[in-house]
Amino acid sequence: SQTIRATDLSLHDLEIQFGLQLAVDDQFFPEWQTELPEITDIDKQVMNQVKASYFNLVKYPPLLEDTVKMAVLGPLLNICGFLFVSSSDEIRIFC
């Protein structure tokens, strides 16, 4: 048998070659869904968009850190109330 490195294979390749499918069943991992706080409809919409963005990034690599930060981490931090963006002071470089 031939070994294929993970870096040489994308999620899209697995879907095409092996019929891999996304499991969207709410009961796929029921232990993750007990004793959870209520999620607002707006939060659900944002999280669905984040999920779609994430799967788009995974399906079509490269999966770059800065892209994940913008598409996934930033929106999640924002809905949790943890996002605070500050810019550094102006820096002058003399040549």
Per-residue pLDDT, 39 = 86
Per-residue pLDDT, 51 = 93
SS (H, E, C) the chain: CCCCCHHHCCHHHHHHHHCCCCCCCCCCCHHHHCCCCCCCHHHHHHHHHHHHHHHHHHHCCCCCHHHHHHHHHHHHHHHHCCCCCCCCCCCCCCC
Predicted confidence (pLDDT) per residue in 68-91, tens digit: 899 999 998 888 888 777 777 777
**The pTM is what?**
0.56
Per-residue pLDDT, 19 = 92
Predicted confidence (pLDDT) per residue in 10-68, tens digit: 888 888 988 988 888 878 888 877 888 888 999 899 999 999 999 999 888 888 889 98
Per-residue pLDDT, 48 = 94
Domain limits of the chain? 6-80
